[in-house]
């Protein structure tokens, strides 16, 4: 992935002589390793990628993914693979990095254990933080990345359309989340991009709720937040429903969240401060009777990870750029009663944005 290596180096400041990305044990895997070494599957625990300013990439791969690694290197003349057991990679690392003055590391992902090991192995090397440059490279997507995000979003959207048919009195949150994850896999996901959130009634007031054995009752609202992985790229979608009979307040809450999302979407175009996207949604909610009930940033970048890059909050400094992919997910949370969140994935285009997720988002009352 010569172009990606060069894209990262162009954003590093100061520029190190090499960049090293090291995986530990799942889940402590650095997705930036997979950004530079584009292998569709495998854990690559203990594997290391060393990138050079000229675009060449040396990969020390774990033996468990040797075939996948060699296959990827065959397709990319700038990637060079050696297969080494992770407990035996010190001499290879030493050989490759001896005499290299400064090496960039992803301080946000590298484990402390790896850092101590590297310092001991190469005491003369200057280790510099490359995490901001890596993030800034990853945050704007190439067409191939957008296609993977679109497929992951399509899978999520299919399941979003199916949820109303799964709702019935007495189903538990865990049963519904199991059905949703099963269906994502049937539609082609290689897994869920994060632990599925299904929150019935008052549980909907907690944005990162964990589903349990609580049963659905007529008159409750439902928040479902879920996502699929496709070739390592993720989706992140939330749909909220009402299980009849109607509750007038929750219907009005839903309509306000929808208006807030439309306002945020209307603010998206290259060059605008990212915080303006948040502020547009917040202004709609704060002008309603639910002032202050948007309790989180309105979105976050998506890519190889669900929270991939920065969030879109009131203090975000960055500007929106063409090719960025992010969520737009306002919500209103009413402790003790419930919540509504509507979350879509979009990609920024030359003049605005394009939806990646497509499931209906308007108020829907499912008959109990
Ligand atoms: N699924 C977590 C989030 O929406 O950020
Ligand atoms: Mn979500
Ligand atoms: Mn999200």
| 3-state SS class at 191 | strand
User: What are the residue boundaries of the structural domains of the chain, listed by start?
Assistant: 2-138, 143-366
Q: Which atom of ligand 1 is nearest to the CA of 226?
A: 1
User: Ligand 1 pocket: which of 238, 297, 340 to mutate (most atoms <8 Å of CB)?
Assistant: 238
The residues pairing with 59 across neighbouring beta strands, listed in sequence order, are 49, 81
Span 88-118, pLDDT tens digits: 999 999 999 999 999 999 999 999 999 999 9
Span 145-179, pLDDT tens digits: 999 999 999 999 999 999 999 999 999 999 999 99
What CATH number should be reported for the domain whose range is 143-366?
3.90.230.10
Q: Which atom of ligand 1 is nearest to the CA of 307?
A: 5
Q: Which segments of the chain does DSSP mark as H helices, in order?
A: 2-10, 31-36, 66-75, 90-97, 112-121, 131-138, 143-166, 173-186, 248-266, 274-286
Q: Which atom of ligand 1 is nearest to the CA of 300?
A: 5
Span 314-331, pLDDT tens digits: 999 999 999 999 999 999
Strands 221-226 and 237-243: antiparallel
251 C-alpha vs ligand 1 centroid, how far in Å? 22
User: Ligand 1 pocket: which of 197, 229, 305, 339 to mutate (most atoms <8 Å of CB)?
Assistant: 197
Query: Tokens in use for 337?
Result: 């009663």
CA-CA distance, 199 to 251, in Å (whole number)?
17
User: Ligand 1 pocket: which of 313, 343, 346 to mutate (most atoms <8 Å of CB)?
Assistant: 343
List, chain by chain if needed, residues with CB within 6 Å of any ligand 1 atom: 194, 225, 236, 329, 343
Mean pLDDT across 326-352: 98
- CB neighbours (10 Å) of residue 208? 10
Span 68-87, pLDDT tens digits: 999 999 999 999 999 999 88
The CA–CA distances, whole Å, from 179 to 164, 196, 223 equal: 12, 11, 15
Mean pLDDT across 236-247: 96
DSSP-assigned letter for residue 332: E
Q: Which atom of ligand 1 is nearest to the CA of 238?
A: 4
| pTM: predicted TM-score of the whole model, two decimal places | 0.96
Output the pLDDT for position 87.
Answer: 85
Interior/surface letters 47-63, b for 16+ CB within 10 angstroms, e for the rest: bbbbbbbebebbbbbbe
CA-CA distance, 35 to 8, in Å (whole number)?
10
Contact 339, 331 (CB under 8 A): yes
Cβ-based burial of 23 (10 A; exposed 0-12, middle 13-18, buried ≥19):
buried
Contact 227, 303 (CB under 8 A): no
What CATH number should be reported for the domain whose range is 2-138?
3.40.350.10
Interior/surface letters 145-181, b for 16+ CB within 10 angstroms, e for the rest: bbebbbbbbbbbbbbbeebbeebeeebbbebbbebbb
The CA–CA distances, whole Å, from 10 to 111, 120, 165, 316, 319 equal: 25, 29, 49, 22, 18
**Nearest ligand to the CA atom of 345:** 3
């Amino acid at each position: 992935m010569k172009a990606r290596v060069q894209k990262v180096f162009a954003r590093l400041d100061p520029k190190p002589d090499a960049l090293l990305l090291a995986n530990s044990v799942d889940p402590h895997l650095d997705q930036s390793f997979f950004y530079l070494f584009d292998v569709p599957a495998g854990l690559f625990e203990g594997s290391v990628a060393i990138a050079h300013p000229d675009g060449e990439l040396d990969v020390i791969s774990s033996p468990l993914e040797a075939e996948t690694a060699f296959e990827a290197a065959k397709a990319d003349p700038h990637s060079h693979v050696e297969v080494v057991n992770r407990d035996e990679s010190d001499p290879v690392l030493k050989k490759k990095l001896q005499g290299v003055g400064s090496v960039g590391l992803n301080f946000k992902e590298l484990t402390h254990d790896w850092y101590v090991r590297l310092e001991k192995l190469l005491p003369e090397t200057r280790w510099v933080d490359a995490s901001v440059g890596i993030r800034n490279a990853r945050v704007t997507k190439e067409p191939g990345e957008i296609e993977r995000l679109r497929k992951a979003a399509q899978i999520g959207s299919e399941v979003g359309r199916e949820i109303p048919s799964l709702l019935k009195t007495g189903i538990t949150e865990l049963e519904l989340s199991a059905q949703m994850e099963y269906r994502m896999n049937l539609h082609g996901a290689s897994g869920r991009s994060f632990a599925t959130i299904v929150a019935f009634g008052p549980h909907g007031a907690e944005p990162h709720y964990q589903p349990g054995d609580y049963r659905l009752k007529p008159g409750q609202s439902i928040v479902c937040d879920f996502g699929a992985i496709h070739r390592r790229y993720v989706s992140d979608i939330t749909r909220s429903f009402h299980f009849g009979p109607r509750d007038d307040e929750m219907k009005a809450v839903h309509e306000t969240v929808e208006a807030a999302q439309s306002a945020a979407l209307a603010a998206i175009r290259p060059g605008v401060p990212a915080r303006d996207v948040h502020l547009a949604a917040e202004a709609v909610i704060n002008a309603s009777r639910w002032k202050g009930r948007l309790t989180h940033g309105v979105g976050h970048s998506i890519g190889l990870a669900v929270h991939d890059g920065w969030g879109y909050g009131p203090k975000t400094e960055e500007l929106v750029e063409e090719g960025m992919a992010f969520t737009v997910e306002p919500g209103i949370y009413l402790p003790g009663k419930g919540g509504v969140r509507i979350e879509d994935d979009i990609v920024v285009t030359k003049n605005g944005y394009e939806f990646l997720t497509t499931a209906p988002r308007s108020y829907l009352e499912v008959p109990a």
